[in-house]
Amino acid sequence: MSAANEQPPQKLDLFEAAVSDLLQAFDVERPPVPIELMLKRPKPGMWQEVNLSELSLSFISVKHLYSPRMSVARLLARHICRSEWGAQRQLSVFATSDEDIRMFARAIIIPSSMLAEVSFSSRTAISLSNRFEVPEEDANQRLIDLGLVQGDKN
């Protein structure tokens, strides 16, 4: 394997470990992941709380029913990466990359531990969209991130 092929699993492993810690800290056992609560009421030592009512609506995407949740998940991912809590988990290097923030947000909102509980036949973008309250394209991309389905070969 080349070094380029080894980087995504390392990144993914860091994201998965952080998500596991996050779910444990907030005692989350099933979807949907309460991302708004995590932003508004972080546990001590995590990050500064965010008042979502002060946010501009221009940052929220509304292309899909669950697009606003993905926008908030990206905000949470960015907030985590910029926090001391995130730095302790080696996430600060990802704070400036939109692609990495998107991947981390998908990991937060569709945790692999919860995805593992979904039957193989239900691991479709539509089914995961409804179960995890995410846009179908993000559900599909999460499956691609984890290597569970093939992505486009552009």
Question: What is the pLDDT tens value at each position of the chain, 154 positions in all?
Answer: 444 444 444 999 999 999 999 999 999 999 999 999 999 999 999 998 888 776 655 545 556 688 889 999 999 999 999 999 999 999 999 999 999 999 999 999 999 999 999 999 999 999 999 999 999 999 999 999 999 988 765 4
- Nearest-5° Cα angle at 83, 79 to 88: 130
pLDDT at position 50 is: 85
Residue 61: the pLDDT is 53
What is the predicted pLDDT for the residue at 52?
Answer: 76
Q: What is the total residue count of the chain?
A: 154
pLDDT of residue 6: 44
Burial class (CB in 10 A: 0-12, 13-18, 19+), 127: middle
Q: What is the pLDDT of residue 67?
A: 87
Q: Map out the domains of the chain as residue ranges.
A: 18-26+62-148
Q: Given this model, what pLDDT does residue 56 score?
A: 52
Residue linked to tokens 């998908």: 106
Which pTM value belongs to this model? 0.87
